[in-house]
């Protein structure tokens, strides 16, 4: 069953078998993230990464929105001097949260309803797959707040949509709808709002039925691919395949193919 991972006020963690759903839950502010929630978000994903019984993670928001980014009221308090928080310390907390999401060994699927803006958008893009309702809206809103792009957006956004499209999103800080997000490749797929839950549940079930170790290594290879040479990528692939050939799951896949049945992977 795996360990119990505790959530926090404003951040719910629910487990159903080998699938964990993390829900940002501050619907009154469109799930805006406080410094405390960024810290807890990082803790939760570090614990998820360490739990090898997890097969897949869903990241979503409560109350009809994904996440509107960092809590603007908290930002205003910091700038006005009402809250004594060192800006660099706070931003390192955000960095640690983004790093924890990106380094999670398990496939993470973003389920986006409503608004995904600022750090909230980059949180979604930090997931491995992004599925959105047709009513969703997206924005790299930082410039409107006098800020620069963060939560890994400068790294993941150009890899998702290309450098010049990324600059357009960041410099103009426009709000785009789901169809435009789909057109430029910001999301994997847009679905009618009523169908989103069922689609994500199907995708996650298919991932959870796959070979966990092999999937985690494929994820790592793809994440690192843009930073390596072809020779380095081929060597890394060879090392990963050598690991696979030593697992029970690869043997099970071969037996299942010979017996004309679906394999039952155990992550060993």
Q: What pLDDT was estimated at residue 143?
A: 96
Q: What pLDDT was estimated at residue 75?
A: 59
- Buried (b) or exposed (e) across 121-143, using 16+ Cβ within 10 A? bbbbbbbbbbbbbeebbbbbbbb
Residues 160 and 138: beta-carbon distance below 8 Å:
no
User: Which of 93-97, 168-172, 187-191 shows the lowest mean pLDDT across its residues?
Assistant: 93-97
CATH class of 11-208: alpha beta
Could you give the CA distance from residue 74 to residue 65 in angstroms, rounded to a whole number? 20
Could you give the CA distance from residue 200 to residue 51 in angstroms, rounded to a whole number? 22
pLDDT at residue 82 tops 50: no
CA 43 to chain centre: 14
What are the tens digits of pLDDT across the range 206-245?
A: 999 999 999 999 999 999 988 899 999 999 999 999 999 9
Tokens 């380095």 found at: 232
For the whole model, what pTM was predicted? 0.92
What are the tens digits of pLDDT across the range 43-60?
A: 999 999 999 999 999 999
What are the tens digits of pLDDT across the range 177-206?
A: 999 999 999 999 999 999 999 999 999 999
Could you give the CA distance from residue 231 to residue 228 in angstroms, rounded to a whole number? 8
3-state secondary structure 7-44: CECCEEEEEECCEEEEEECCHHHCCCECHHHHHHHHHH
pLDDT > 70 fraction of the chain, expressed in percent and rounded: 94
């Amino acid at each position: 069953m795996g360990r119990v991972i505790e959530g926090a006020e404003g951040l719910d963690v629910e487990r159903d078998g080998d699938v964990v759903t993390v829900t940002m839950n501050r619907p009154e502010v469109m799930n805006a993230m406080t410094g405390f929630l960024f810290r807890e978000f990082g803790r939760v994903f570090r614990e998820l990464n360490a739990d090898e019984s997890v097969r897949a993670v869903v990241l979503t928001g409560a109350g009809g929105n994904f996440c509107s980014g960092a809590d603007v009221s908290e930002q205003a308090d910091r700038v006005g001097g009402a809250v004594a928080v060192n800006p660099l310390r706070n931003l390192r907390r955000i960095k640690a949260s983004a790093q924890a999401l990106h380094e999670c060994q398990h496939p993470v699927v973003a389920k986006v309803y409503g608004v995904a803006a600022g750090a909230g958008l980059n949180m979604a893009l930090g997931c491995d797959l992004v599925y959105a309702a047709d009513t969703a809206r997206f924005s790299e809103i930082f410039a409107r707040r006098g800020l620069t792009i963060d939560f890994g957006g400068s790294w993941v956004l150009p890899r998702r949509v290309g450098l010049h499209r990324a600059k357009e999103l960041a410099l103009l800080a426009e709000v785009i709808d789901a169809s435009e997000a789909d057109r430029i490749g910001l999301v994997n797929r847009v679905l009618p709002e009523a169908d989103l839950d069922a689609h994500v549940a199907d995708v996650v079930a298919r991932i959870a039925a796959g070979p966990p170790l092999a999937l985690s290594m494929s994820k790592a290879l793809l994440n690192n691919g843009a930073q390596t040479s072809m020779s380095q990528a081929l060597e890394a692939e060879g090392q990963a395949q050598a690991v696979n050939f030593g697992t029970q799951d690869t043997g099970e896949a071969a037996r299942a193919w010979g017996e004309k049945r679906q394999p039952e992977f155990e992550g060993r």
